[in-house]
């Protein structure tokens, strides 16, 4: 839990952004994300320097170049530990003219974070605002994974209005319920095909840390946790940046969080790859057949996004894989041929474990549609389904 003092600092920072001319909460989070990333790069570089000094060897991995650029500006000025001491105007110039162009060159190292920083834009309008932001971030004990994760979650909680394409945050208690019901295991491969800010993936990681601390004592399981366990798709690059940083601050070194239009792109490379799907995808009504992935149409012939997403979950899961996903009530009660066929598949061809009806106001003010949580296991064979509806 973050302290009252840090909470007050974040609230003050938010108001400062507002009065400084940045009223969009997503833009606020995005700018803070960039600065958190450059601070992390400096921390990693410092670790490499300390290691080289201890061993009396050259740096194995140099993040910041040596010397000066073609304009005679020291590359050392790019480092958080250096520019945080500059006076306001100098800091503003360095961050705008050197740090952000440097961020955009980092995509080649292969990490998900670097990939999402390649189009980084600096939009803080005033040096005084930048100084306050840097000062706040520098005072937070970022060595503590819980603190920095809670800090970022608190900031994400300030996104008080729906984004584009029906995006909004799933309430944390609903996420935690779904994770608790599925109980992720150390060898799981978890996917959220509409990951947004990464809430489901973060919650799955926190559950594993709590229930399976042995992960971090086993080199193979630890490697899997940091590089192979977490997968997220979204077609909003801002959300991908935020999700990547959210996972990073919760201690996941290199999750697979990538740009993907889950309903439009073919899934041959992703088919039957995952053992657990957790999702609350946006439901935008209907799509044209021409813009929908053909492999999903083979599962269920429909234009309805809520049915296409359920077909997608079935496509992504391995046999024996399980899912906890939020769907609108139309999936449960729709009378079209496609609705009925999908329900038949879930009940007769797969194993429908539970249907949990959610209260009507769960997603207000974003959406008023009635929803439910579907829990099912992919079996690809007729299996007895025993489930009840729980409100």
Same domain, 20 and 63: yes
State the total domains in the chain: 2
Residue predicted with more confidence, 172 or 279? 279
pLDDT tens digits for range 231-262: 999 988 888 988 998 898 888 989 999 999 88
pLDDT exceeds 80 at position 191: yes
Q: Name the band, by pLDDT with cuts 50, 70 and 90, for residue 152.
A: confident
The answer to whether position 157 is within a domain reads no
Domain termination site, one of 120, 150, 180: 150
| Residue numbers of the domain that contains 135 | 4-150
Half-sphere exposure in the Cβ direction for 207 (13 Å, CA): 21
Angle of helix 172-182 relative to helix 199-211, nearest 10 degrees, comes to 50
Same domain, 145 and 167: no
Put residue 61 in one of left, alpha, beta given phi > 0 → left and psi -120 to 50 → alpha: beta
The whole-angstrom separation of Cα 244 and Cα 232 is 9
pLDDT at position 1: 62
Stated pTM of the model: 0.84
Six-digit token pair at 213? 């601390």
pLDDT tens digits for range 9-50: 888 888 888 888 888 888 888 898 899 889 988 998 999 999
pLDDT at position 166: 42
Q: Name the band, by pLDDT with cuts 50, 70 and 90, for residue 151.
A: confident
Domain termination site, one of 116, 150, 184: 150
Question: Between the CA atoms of 7, 12, 16 and 18, what dihedral angle is there, to the nearest 10 degrees?
Answer: 70
The whole-angstrom separation of Cα 229 and Cα 58 is 33
Question: Which CATH number does the domain housing residue 248 bear?
Answer: 3.40.50.150
Q: What is the mean pLDDT of residues 171-198?
A: 94
Q: Name the band, by pLDDT with cuts 50, 70 and 90, for residue 210.
A: very high
Q: What is the mean pLDDT of residues 208-218?
A: 96
Residue predicted with more confidence, 21 or 349? 349
pLDDT tens digits for range 306-331: 888 999 999 999 999 999 999 988 88
pLDDT tens digits for range 93-142: 999 999 999 988 876 666 777 788 888 899 999 999 999 889 888 887 77
The whole-angstrom separation of Cα 83 and Cα 157 is 29
The per-residue pLDDT of the chain, averaged, comes to 86
User: How far from the centroid of its chain's Cα atoms is residue 275's Cα?
Assistant: 18
Q: Name the band, by pLDDT with cuts 50, 70 and 90, for residue 75.
A: very high
Q: Name the band, by pLDDT with cuts 50, 70 and 90, for residue 364.
A: low
Same domain, 229 and 311: yes
Six-digit token pair at 224? 């899997």
Same domain, 143 and 94: yes
Question: Which CATH number does the domain housing residue 143 bear?
Answer: 1.20.1260.30
pLDDT at position 386: 54
């Amino acid at each position: 839990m973050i302290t009252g003092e840090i909470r007050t600092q974040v609230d003050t920072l938010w108001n400062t952004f507002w009065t400084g001319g940045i009223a969009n909460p997503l833009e606020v989070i995005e700018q803070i994300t960039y600065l958190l990333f450059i601070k992390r790069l400096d921390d990693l570089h410092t670790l490499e320097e300390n290691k080289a000094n201890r061993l009396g060897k050259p740096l194995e991995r140099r993040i910041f170049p040596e010397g000066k650029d073609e304009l005679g500006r020291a590359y050392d000025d790019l480092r958080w530990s250096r520019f945080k001491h500059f006076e306001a105007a100098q800091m503003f110039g360095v961050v705008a003219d050197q740090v952000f162009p440097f961020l955009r060159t980092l995509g080649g190292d292969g990490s998900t974070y670097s990939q999402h920083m390649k189009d980084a834009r600096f939009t803080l309008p005033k040096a005084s605002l930048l100084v306050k932001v840097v000062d706040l971030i520098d005072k937070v004990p970022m060595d503590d994974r819980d603190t920095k994760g809670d800090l970022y979650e608190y900031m994400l909680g300030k996104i008080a209005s729906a984004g584009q394409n029906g995006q909004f945050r799933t309430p944390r208690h609903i996420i935690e319920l779904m994770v608790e019901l599925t109980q992720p295991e150390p060898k799981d491969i978890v996917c959220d095909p509409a990951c947004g800010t990464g809430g489901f993936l973060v919650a799955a990681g926190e559950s594993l840390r709590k229930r399976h601390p042995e992960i971090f004592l086993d080199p193979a399981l630890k490697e899997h946790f940091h590089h192979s366990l977490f997968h997220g798709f979204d077609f909003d690059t801002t959300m991908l940046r935020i999700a990547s940083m959210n996972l990073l601050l919760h201690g996941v070194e290199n999750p697979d969080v990538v740009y993907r239009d889950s309903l439009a792109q073919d899934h041959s490379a992703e088919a039957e790859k995952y053992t657990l799907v957790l999702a609350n995808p946006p439901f935008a009504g209907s799509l044209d057949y021409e813009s929908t992935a053909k492999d999903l149409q083979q599962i269920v012939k429909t234009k309805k996004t809520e049915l296409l997403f359920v077909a997608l979950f079935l496509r992504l899961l391995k046999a024996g894989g399980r899912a906890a996903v939020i769907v609108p009530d139309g999936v449960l009660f729709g009378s079209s041929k496609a609705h009925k066929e999908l329900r038949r598949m879930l009940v007769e061809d797969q194993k429908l474990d539970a249907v949990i009806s959610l209260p009507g106001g769960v997603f207000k003010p974003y959406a008023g549609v009635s929803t439910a949580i579907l829990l099912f296991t992919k079996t690809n064979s007729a299996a007895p389904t025993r489930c009840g509806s729980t409100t």
